[in-house]
Structure 1
Amino acid sequence: MEWKDVVPVLAGAIIILVVAFVVKPALLGEPITSGSEPVVVRNPPVYASPEPVATPTPYPDDGPAYTRSFRWTAIDGGVHTTVVRIPEALFQEQRETPRLSDYHIWGRYALADADRPILEDLAWRIAPPSGNPEEDYLRLMNLVFFVQQIPYDTDDSAASYIEGTLPPHAMYIEGGVEYPKYPAEMLVDGRGDCEDAAILMGGLLDALGYDTVLLRYSDHMALGIRMNEFNPYYAAYSPRYFEYEGKHYYYVEGTDFEWENVSEYTTAIIGRPYPIGNTRDIPIPSVRSETPEIIPLRYLPLPEEYRIRQARLPAVSGGA
């Protein structure tokens, strides 16, 4: 056998030995032996994703906060009180947020994510759950009465804001002022106008799972709540509702909780709320005479139509 025939044989034998004693044990995770001492093959480092870092809440519970006490008369005539805590950081952030002039999308203020925990807690304290379905109406009316008894004030009144001056993003529209408040803002200010009350009430009712819409009149805003065949036997009025997408939404007033004397012989006063569906006694002419525009809280505005028109080029003079 010539030398040139021996070289391929030796090379093949070496390859077989390497595969048998090095490659195979490494693939199977077995120790590589050299004589009697095992040679340990170190596993390559395994990537371990870092532990997620907890994102600090922008409104910590232990941070500075506004504390507001509320006192209201419930449907059973009893007087109730509660305390609401609003983080100062949340209030300041909302005060510095520009307002949207299109009232069709004011429902987003009622559904603001940052306000949701506050509204859920407040709604469940005003109207705690009950195992009796017949008490649902009483729970609902207690929440309505709570909002109705928050003092009314117009957007152009400096007294409507705790700063004593109009917010920087108040909008001057048609000779007046508009400033739809977030629910947290109205709770801190302790007063507001009709759209503020409708927004706050809508947020509270949504937190309890009720389907509501905004009712827009020419000079007023109220709330509509979806109810089926609502016709209370004790009502001295025919409950007013409006149909939207096959559903009945009953009128709910958020302002003008009227106080009147118990009798002419005493200075004691008693509150006269406006129950659900009652538009007969509302002292606002537009409510009694107009059909409102119905705006769902989760209203999605359609994009405007833009048309591209041919530009008029200036006339060219001379031979250029």
Structure 2
Amino acid sequence: MTKPPLDPRLTEQRNPDTAGIDQLSALEIARIINREDQRIAPAVATQLDCIARAIEMAEDTFRAGGRLIYVGAGTSGRLGVLDASEMPPTYGTDPEMFQGVIAGGYDALLKAAEGAEDSREAGGAVMDEKGVGPNDFVFGIAASGSTPYVHGALTRAKQRGAKAGFLLCTEPEQWMLDVYDVVIAPLVGPEVVTGSTRMKAGTATKLVLNMISTGAMIRTGKVFGNLMVDLRATNQKLRDRSERILMETLDLERDDARALLARSGGSVKTAMVMHWTGADREHAAEELARAGGRLGDLVKIAAG
């Protein structure tokens, strides 16, 4: 008779397929890790409806002037901070729009602060410090589903009127489904090394966060076709990309694209509207605002 697991959390259970991994060669270890990694995308695919709901909630949050705040500890917290930090250079967002909170503060990004995750009160206090309110969307990340710091933050966020989402890699308890506005649970199975959630669970977490943030940026007009048209040209690579987008979409030579970008104040989207309509920078920006920032919608309106 098979004994029940000592810990019901999927992330803490032993993987029978890797029980003898310590006796394998380097190539065999690589093969078995790769085999386990192939379980990740299918697990995420089971959660697409919930991920879509989170994208819609993030879009509504941004249109209301609110913030998406990721909260996590350890690997989960670092992945939230990573996703948030990549939004300003990629999509030209205000740094306040996406925020990452990690138990133990920013020092925990570089050096483990494992005990910090045990305090519900500390998680709630950060929500007070940030002035979380009804326009905000607080998204908790805890692979094991049980991190007190994260649940403390989400509980306080709900009390302050914010929307609350939760990402875990084990079966969610019923109370989570009842309390939180959206719960995403890709079940990637026990880790190659028991409890090492920086592996499959961490990869699944990054996939989900990428989908939420990217989906929200697309929905709020930061993408035209599949081009990043709201990036900030803060270095040579991004200036080059901005110019190439204008060259490709508007059929311009490099010098003309560079001049148009300069007249637009460095905004690719504004430059495109200026070119299409003949409007100056101010009026082009007004046209964009009326279209909710979505170039595709502006093109449809212009086409009648």
Same fold by TM-score greater than 0.5: no
| Bigger relative contact order (CA 8 A; separation at least 6) | 2
Greater helix fraction, Structure 1 or Structure 2: 2
Greater strand fraction, Structure 1 or Structure 2: 1
TM-score (norm 1): 0.21
TM-score (norm 2): 0.22
